[in-house]
Amino acid sequence: MINDRYYVKIVPQKGETVHRFQVRRRHIYGALGVLALLILGSLAFAAATALTAHAQVASLRAQTDAQQRTLKQIDHQTDLLRRQLQSVQKQNLEIRALIGAPAPKHVVQKTAWVRGVSLPAMAARVKVLSVEGSAMARETVAMRRLALHVLNIRHLRDLARAQMVAAIPSIDPVAGAEVLGCFCYRTYPDTEFHEGVDLGADYGDTVRAAAAGTVVAAGWDGGYGIKIDIDHGNGYHTWYAHLSHVDVRIGEHVYKGEPIAAVGSTGFSTGPHLHYQVMYDGTPVNPTPYLHGVPANVLAKLP
């Protein structure tokens, strides 16, 4: 067992006392074992750390890929929303043009769009969409108010025009009767200018108002016999003569097509018929063009 021991001498430089240590073989083996364990432990720790880091990198890469997919989806949706905003804006501009309204101050510009699929770019795009969406919402409210205003004005104009048309003679008072006597000079039953038309009808047939207006006369009027005079409030008067009786009274308002009397043969008449006369500003006009609607030349003068 002589070789089982080893000596370690430490000799100082200046010759002081020499230090000697005795080391047994088992101590060396033990130290080498401990060193080996330390090395192995370090290697195991390094391997575990490397595996953990690799797993974390893989997880981060997966998260990054998922975020990229999400960003691409958001990018597609924001593009779609932007196109929808531009489509709505185009429609609003077309509506404004149709109703004669000025263009809005805010317009969605393509050059304001931030390109790129990244968090900063997407944040910028969402911000732009937020601003444009708010502006479009205000534009929509303004358009709704403007459209309602224009529609109300046009509705009022249409009502006013409808009232004007309703007050112009435009129907046959005895529903499709034959014209027996023209608006012309004639020699029978008298020699004079006939200022109306004679419409063939049977005794007692209904006579209807040719336009809306107010009854200003209803009774006997010489050779006209029983006659009704309706003032339409626009320069037009219509006369209905040779009636058997009347169904309206003076001052009564009547509507176009409303029954007002019955056909007769009173006054200077050779048989049952209706003498229908149209007056404009006190002058007789030919009733024939007014029997089947408002004449085109009259409609053209309406506002």
Give residue-wise pLDDT tens across range 79-124.
777 777 777 777 777 777 766 667 666 555 554 455 555 667 667 7
Tell whether the model's pLDDT for residue 219 goes beyond 90. Answer: yes
More confident residue, 192 or 109: 192
Determine the pLDDT at residue 111: 43
pLDDT level of residue 52 (50, 70, 90 thresholds) = confident
Give the whole-number percent of the chain exceeding pLDDT 90: 34
Tell whether the model's pLDDT for residue 1 goes beyond 50. Answer: no
Tell whether the model's pLDDT for residue 164 goes beyond 50. Answer: yes
Q: Give me the long-range contacts of 59-67 (CB less than 8 A, separation at least 24).
A: none
**CA 23, CA 3: separation in Å to the nearest integer?**
11
Determine the pLDDT at residue 139: 73
What phi and psi, each to the nearest 5 degrees, are found at residue 277?
-130, 135
Q: What is the mean pLDDT of residues 161-187?
A: 85
**8-22, 28-42, 73-87: which is most confident:** 28-42
**CA 28, CA 34: separation in Å to the nearest integer?**
10
Q: What is the mean pLDDT of residues 220-242?
A: 96
Determine the pLDDT at residue 201: 92
Determine the pLDDT at residue 291: 92
The alpha carbon of residue 210 and the mean position of all alpha carbons in its chain are separated, in whole angstroms, by: 39
Q: What is the mean pLDDT of residues 277-293?
A: 94
Give the sign of the dihedral formed by CA 58, CA 60, CA 64, CA 67: positive
Average pLDDT over the chain, rounded to an integer? 81
Give the sign of the dihedral formed by CA 229, CA 230, CA 231, CA 232: negative
What value, to the nearest 5°, has the Cα angle with vertex 90 and ends 85 and 93? 125
How would you label 15-45 residue by residue, b for 16+ Cβ within 10 Å and e otherwise? eeeeeeeeeeeeeeeeeeeeeeeeeeeeeee
Lowest mean pLDDT among 47-61, 86-100, 165-179: 86-100
Tell whether the model's pLDDT for residue 44 goes beyond 90. Answer: no
Determine the pLDDT at residue 51: 83
Number of Cβ within a 10 Å radius of residue 273? 25
Tell whether the model's pLDDT for residue 279 goes beyond 90. Answer: yes
Determine the pLDDT at residue 233: 93
